[in-house]
Structure formats: C-alpha cells, structure tokens
Structure 1
Amino acid sequence: MDSGLDFALRAIAIGVGATAVMDLWALFLKRAFSIPSLDYAWVGRWIGHFRNGRFAHANIGQAATVPGEAILGWGAHYAIGIVFAGLLLTLAGVDWPQSPTPLPAIAFGVVTVVIPFFLMQPAFGFGIAASRTPKPAIARQRSLMAHFSFGVGLYLSALLLASFSS
C-alpha cells in the first residue's frame, strides 16, 4: 500500500477511534454523574461565523445560530481528532503504530488541551483556560480529563489497528 495512503488511513482510524473514546467518556460522565460536556453545536456555530470574519465571541451560547451548526460542530470534532492522530503518528515515528505504547499517546492527548485552553475557550468568550467561567478550576479539570481520555483512545485505537495489521 502507498505509504501516504497508509498514513492517512491509520490517522483516520486512530483519530475516529480516539474521538469516539472521548465521546464515550463524556457520555459516561453525563449519565453517571450528570456532568455536561461541550455542546459541539457551539463549535459549529463558531466555525459558521468564520465566513463573516467573526472568530471570537463575547459568549458563544448567545451568538446567532448557524444553519447546520450541530452537524458542522460534530464533523469538526472528528476531523480535529483525525488531524491530532496524524500529528501523533508523525511525532511518534513510523514504528509506533505497529507496536503502540501508551505513554506517547496519552501524553500527546493531554498536550492537545492547549487548543481549547488557548484558542477555543477564549474565542467562545470563556477566557484563557476557562478563566471567565463560573468555576474555572472545574472547567480546566474537565478539559484535562477529556483530553486524557482522548489520549487513552489514541493508544487503544492504535493497539486495535495494530492487532489487525499483524
């Protein structure tokens, strides 16, 4: 198989799997403890406003809705997971996906929290690292837990994929 195509297919499989693990973790928290997760329609709303040159909001929840924002947001959520998986594959090296180990995946998953802390949360009007939310420490902890679960998902998805490649 072409190495570029092989890389892309691995990134897609691992990224989708890891994002699904993250979503299953969020579903567990919601069902077991009534802990809400990010409304991905807000991600779609944020992206939908790009075409009008608007990249930041005082409060994304009060911004004008965008047609199809939920689909756009969920699609972006999974696309970002795929891009992150591709970055992990690039950084971890060509041998890692054949014999994945947890540390690179989990560490990378945790590091990805810089995107919501320093890009998305400020753009949503929540401040850097959720500093403008009612309970910033709890919001930060939830973001870190979500990205930790994404890292676990990166590892588990790579492990599953490697088991099929053997």
Structure 2
Amino acid sequence: MFDILWRGMAIGIGGTVLMDVWAMLLSLLPGQNRPNWAPVGRWFWHLKTGTVFHDNIADAEPYAQELALGWIGHYAVGILYGILLAAIAGPDWLAAPTFLPAWILGIVTVGAGWFLLQPGLGIGWAASKLPNANTVRLLNLVAHTIFAAGMYWTALLIR
C-alpha cells in the first residue's frame, strides 16, 4: 500500500509539473496569460464556509495567501489524481506503465474543472460564460493530456 501511495504522489507531482511547464511555455504566445492560481486559492478558501459556486470569484472576500493556497491546491489535486491512477491501475501497471490509463484519467479529470472549478469561479459550466469558451475547453483538454503524459513519463522513471 505504501508503495502505491509514494509512487502515486510522485506520478501526480510529475504530471502537474509538466502541465505547469506547458502553461508557462504557452504563456509566451501572443494573447496568452501566465497561470494565475490566486482565484483558485480564493475558491479553495471559501470552500470552508460551504460556498462552492460563485457568480464571480473576484467579488468574493479576498484571502491574503490566496496565491499560495492556489498553488498548494493545484499540486494537492495533481497528487490526488496520481494516487488515484496508481491505485486503480495497480502494481502491474506501475511495473510496466502504458500511456492509455494515464490519458483516460487525464481526460476524465477535465470534468472536475468544467463542472466544479469553472462554475465555482463563476465562469460557467465548461467556461460557458467566457467569449472564448471553445478555445478554453480545447486548451483544457490539451493541458490534461500533457498532465497525463507527465504522469506516464514519471511512472516510467520510477518503475
């Protein structure tokens, strides 16, 4: 059990790091912003009061450490997904990883962003309130595919 836990944690960190590298590279393109985890930190902070959905997270009461909490939450979720992958795929997959299980989980996890986080931030189901919703959705799918690749490559490194 401990083996699955530590490998899952490493796999989740590896996937999250690669996704962050991708986001930083993407932000070098015209019209793309650097990731800002402060709104996500504010969202996490307000979960303690039972508030999951906001009309606009910018209108919610600020939290002094929301950027740090956003980064911590981002990595905690990535680690959770890595542990989930290791637990579901099991010891045989950890001994000989393949991309497909990581990619399936990566794509499934887009749902948490589309149906929990994005409406929680006030941008609608699957970013539906944004003028570029389809672009955001496509970028979400690409980012989570890169997250899956990072999980897979990390699993290969630690097998």
Q: TM-score range by the shorter chain?
A: over 0.9
| Corresponding residue of 1:15 | 12
- The answer as to whether partners of 2:24 and 2:35 remain within 8 angstroms in 1 is no
Q: Which runs of 4+ in 1 moved over 3 A?
A: none
Q: Secondary structure at the match of 1:120?
A: helix
1:43 corresponds to: 40
Q: Deviations over 1:98-119 (max 9, x none)?
A: 1111111112111110000111
TM norm structure 1: 0.90
- Match of residue 92, structure 2, among 90, 95, 102: 95
State which of 114, 130, 147 in structure 1 corresponds to 2:111. 114
Q: What is the Cα deviation at residue 47 of structure 1?
A: 1.0
User: May I ask how many residue pairs the two structures share in their alignment?
Assistant: 159
CA distance in structure 1 between the partners assigned to 2:34 and 2:100 by the alignment: 25
From 18, 21, 24, give the equivalent of 1:24: 21
Aligned to 1:143: 140
The unaligned stretches of length 5 or more in structure 1 are: none
Percent identity over the alignment is 42
- Please give the root-mean-square deviation of Cα atoms over the aligned residues, in Å: 1.4
Q: Distance in 2 between matches of 1:147 and 1:132?
A: 21
TM-score (structure 2 length as normaliser): 0.93
Change (3 A) 1:151 1:37: farther
- CA–CA separation in structure 2 for the residues paired with 1:40 and 1:124: 11
| 1:153 corresponding residue in structure 2 | 150
**SS state of the match for residue 48, structure 1?**
helix
How has the CA–CA distance of structure 1 residues 103 and 37 changed in structure 2, closer, same or farther, with 3 Å as cutoff? farther
For the residues of structure 2 that align with 1:80 and 1:53, how far apart are their CA atoms?
Answer: 19
**Bigger mean CA offset, 130-139 vs 34-43:** 34-43
Distance 2:70 2:43 in 1: 8
